[in-house]
Amino acid sequence: MNNFRGVLVLLFLVLFGSMNYAQDTLRVMSFNILHGATVKNDFNLDSLARIIKSYNPHLVALQEVDFKTKRAKNYDLPTELGYRTKMAPLFARAMYYDGGEYGEAILSKFSFVSSENLALPHLPDSEPRAAAIVQVETANKNLVQFVGTHLDHQNDSKDREMQARALVERFHKDTIPTLLLGDLNAESNSETISILKNVFEQGALEEVKQPTYPSKAPTKKIDYILFDRSGRWKLLDYQILCENYASDHCIVMATLLLYP
């Protein structure tokens, strides 16, 4: 009997340990980098990289990212920031601009399992927008889908609402744990956010409600970290980081627990 009881205890410990091991704690960041210019227009990539490294995120969604444009001195900003932060970079073009390209980027401490550039709908006279989508395998072998986007900025919300519906259509059937981050140019009570809430949520921590724009004395919440409604995510920590020099947006940072 004692031997049988010992076997049961050992089996419980193995199963419990495996469950713990399969959980992941992820630190994620959304950062509108103002095409590398900083608010002083001094184009300081080293400063941007230092800020990112100081918070030690696993995954970063970057908005307002230039790829070899004249205003960015023909730099490939995702690769430059990836090199400086020692993270894997990926760029998703939204449009051609100023002799190069402009769009979204992702930095990751994990290698990419897959990637996709999802072109988002827009009215004929509006700027094109995109969503950068990657899948990564975490250290604990969990597959995670990480999405970075930048929705339309105009006062008229028609483009943003179309773009939000396109994102809901793309992800509403997914079973992969998914995070959606970015500058959504929409406040919490907007129709755009209401549409996204069909698939995503942002957690109940009080910090989630804090404004993110402008970085100096912010008054509006337009930068978000959202996660799917599968019940596999738990929001542990949420921070609004207003690095006034780096960008006209505050950085948004979250720590999430992913259940197996």
pLDDT of residue 22: 86
Going by DSSP bridges, is the β-strand pair 59-67/24-32 parallel, antiparallel, or unpaired? parallel
Digit-coded pLDDT (tens) for 36-79 = 988 988 999 999 999 999 999 999 999 999 999 999 999 999 99
User: Collapsing DSSP states into helix, strand and coil, what is residue 9?
Assistant: helix
pLDDT of residue 145: 98
Would you say residue 15 has pLDDT above 60? no
Q: Which of 250, 200, 241 shows the shortest CA–CA distance to 220?
A: 250
Domain spans in the chain, listed from the N-terminal domain onward: 25-258
Residue 104: what residue type? E
pLDDT of residue 135: 98
**CATH architecture under which domain 25-258 falls:** 4-Layer Sandwich (3.60)
Q: Which of 112, 116, 133, 120 shows the shortest CA–CA distance to 179?
A: 133
Would you say residue 19 has pLDDT above 80? no
Going by DSSP bridges, is the β-strand pair 100-108/59-67 parallel, antiparallel, or unpaired? antiparallel
Would you say residue 21 has pLDDT above 90? no
Digit-coded pLDDT (tens) for 159-192 = 999 999 999 999 999 999 999 999 999 999 999 9
Torsion of CA 106, 108, 113, 119, to 10 degrees: -10
Digit-coded pLDDT (tens) for 187-224 = 999 999 999 999 999 999 999 999 999 999 999 999 99
Would you say residue 150 has pLDDT above 50? yes
